Amino acid sequence: MGEKTINYIKLPGSGYRSAGSPFVRFALFFVIGFFVLLLRGKRVQLYLGNDHLLVLDTDGYVEEYKRFYWRDIQGFTLRRTVEGKIINLVFGAPFILFSALALSSRDNAAVFLFGIIATVCLIFLIINIVQGPTCDVELFTAVQAEKMPSLGRVKVAKKVLARLQPIINEAQGELKPEEMVPDNPAESVPFEVSQAKFSSSTPVVETYQSKVHSILSWVALADVPGTCLTVFLGQELLRAYSLLHIVALIILSIIALNKQRYTTLPVGLKRLPVVILSGVVICFITSFVLGIYFAFADQEAVATMRENTLGAPWQVVLTVISTAINGFAGLYGVVQLKKYKQSLVEVVPPPLVAADSPVNPDQSI
Amino acid sequence: MVGMLKCPKCQVGLGEFTVVGEAAAFCPHCLKEITIFAFPALYRKLPASAVQAGEAAIEGDSTCFFHPQKKAAIPCDGCGRFLCTLCDIEFSGQHLCSTCLETGVRKKSIQNLEKSRKLEARRAFLLGLIPLFVTGPIAVFLAIRAWKSPGSMVSHKRWYAPVGLTLGVIQTIFLIIFIIARFAK
């Protein structure tokens, strides 16, 4: 029963099998910092065996193996994602911001600090651009669909799949023409590369029934009257309200992102929590950076800002922008959710019958 | 049954299609373009006779060890027992009985059946690197335990255990010196 040790060849690519939305982890970065890297999950790598593909999950101390034999692999799907673009934005925006601050600052220490931060952001940005667009790849067999987190970049995924294709085709042999005939030719639709026609397939997704998006929309919309009121009611109230509102938006956005997965919610509404969360994060980062800048560059301005939350012009601009983003996003969410819920309800009104209409003779006793 | 794949994000079926190789499709739900790599297995049905009950034995025939009323079809590559078609488990080019397969899993002698491995040598090495005194004896213990263990299936670094043991011993020596010096005072 002894067999030779299998020699595995490592395939390009490496990823992490993590549970939960990447947006949640991104949001948590602002709460627990770099410790969010501990939530990445197990590292996944692919290896080429003699008669199978080995998927290796490891946390550094235990390795777990899954084998997919060539004869069992039915196919792969590759779907491009927006994560790469988001990462570009996450590093690109701070790079532009800190570069501008470094160039406009008169203090050497501030120039040095902002320059370092801008350089670090630039390095990560270049790495992300060089790696190329991101994607999701899944492997299909007759009984399962397995995600391939290590093939998270289109370049790497296509390289690996190009390597696997001839091996799998050789192992499975050529398909005979009679094997391609569907069981029900009348129901199936042959599809060409550029003209895909689909037979009606029952989606696995569920109807969206949660109220989180509705609450989020109203809370975002409430920012407009809330900010207007607290501006006149006092600085302390304004600060407390702003803080509570930001926390509420972040929490509701994260919950909404999780609730909307695999639901029939329209794409526009699915993007709503992303827009709100992005607005909050960008405004928070901008105010943080500008606060640091003024702490180095203009001490008097800092004192003024402490006394009056809307004392500086940039604070006013930032407040107006964030309130506008929340207001428009909230309004959009409220209107679109109403339309969506109306589209779900199929009401067939009963036929109107007049009080003195003749009785149907067939129904008479 | 003609091929049926799903969108990786929405899990919505991409419809039935008849193509082998690389092709493009659009998810009807999220409207995203999806590249499909289809293989012949997507379209093949299992043959009707894939699982056979085993042919009944007549007088004079060799019979299956586990089913005396069934005709033996093949000997087990592990133990040599005769097996009927029902008992024959074809795995990785070998024909095995269920007992040998179970033994192979338990004793980890069939590499293709191993589902996981502990990297104790790596743990010993990492603990040896952390100078916390107490990690020294633990590193020594793990290194000795991991000395003959197979290690990673894909990239076994044989120097983990000896280096971990060395570092663990050094830390343990320092720990002992520290304790002696402390009590000597």
- The string of pLDDT tens digits covering residues A96-108 is 888 888 888 888 8
- φ/ψ of B128, rounded to 5, equals -65, -30
Chains A & B: contacts with CB separation below 8 Å = 202
Confidence of residue A135 (pLDDT cuts 50, 70, 90): very high
Query: Are A138 and B122 an interchain contact pair (Cβ–Cβ within 8 Å)?
Result: no
Query: Are A76 and B37 an interchain contact pair (Cβ–Cβ within 8 Å)?
Result: yes
Is residue B179 less than 8 Å (CB to CB) from chain A? Answer: no
CA distance B26 to B29: 9
Query: Are B117 and A182 an interchain contact pair (Cβ–Cβ within 8 Å)?
Result: no
CA distance A284 to A163: 46
The percent of residues above 90 in pLDDT, for chain A, comes to 28
With residues binned 3-state (H G I as helix, E B as strand, rest as coil), the percentages for chain B, rounded to 5, are 35, 20, 45
pLDDT of A346 reads: 55
Is residue B47 less than 8 Å (CB to CB) from chain A? Answer: no
Q: Average pLDDT of chain A? A: 79
CA distance A98 to A118: 5
CA distance B168 to B157: 18
- The string of pLDDT tens digits covering residues A274-329 is 888 888 888 877 877 777 777 776 666 666 666 665 666 777 787 888 888 899 99
Shortest Cα–Cα distance, B16 to chain A (Å): 6
pLDDT tens-place values along chain B, 185 residues long: 345 677 877 777 776 666 677 888 777 777 778 888 888 888 776 555 545 566 677 777 788 888 888 888 889 988 888 988 888 888 777 888 888 888 888 877 777 778 888 888 888 888 888 888 788 888 899 899 888 777 888 877 778 888 989 999 998 898 888 888 888 76
CA distance A28 to A30: 5
pLDDT of A199 reads: 33
Pick from A54, A63, A267: which is nearest to B116 by CB? A63
Confidence of residue A197 (pLDDT cuts 50, 70, 90): very low
Map chain A to HEC letters: CCCCCCCCEECCCCEEECCCCHHHHHHHHHHHHHHHHHHHCEEEEEEECCCEEEEEEECCCEEEEEEEEHHHCCEEEEEECCHHHHHHHHHHHHHHHHHHHHHHCCCHHHHHHHHHHHHHHHHHHHHHHHHCCEEEEEEECCCCEEECCCCCEHHHHHHHHHHHHHHHHHHHCCCCHHHHCCCCCCCCCCCCCCCCCCCCCCCCCECCCCCHHHHHHHHHHCHHHHHHHHHHHCHHHHHHHHHHHHHHHHHHHHHHHHHCCCECCCHHHHHHHHHHHHHHHHHHHHHHHHHHHHHHHCHHHHHHHHHCCCCCHHHHHHHHHHHHHHHHHHHHHHHHHHHHHHHHCCCCCCCCCCCCCCCCHHHCC
Q: Which of A161-170, A219-228, B30-39, B80-89 has the lowest mean pLDDT?
A: B30-39
Side chain identity at residue A208, one-letter code: Y
Give the global pTM.
0.63
Pick from A63, A142, A180: which is nearest to B153 by CB? A63
Are the C-beta atoms of residues A224 and A252 closer than 8 Å to each other? no
Higher-confidence position of A282 and A81: A81
Query: Are A80 and B32 an interchain contact pair (Cβ–Cβ within 8 Å)?
Result: yes
The ipTM value here is 0.76
Confidence of residue A32 (pLDDT cuts 50, 70, 90): confident
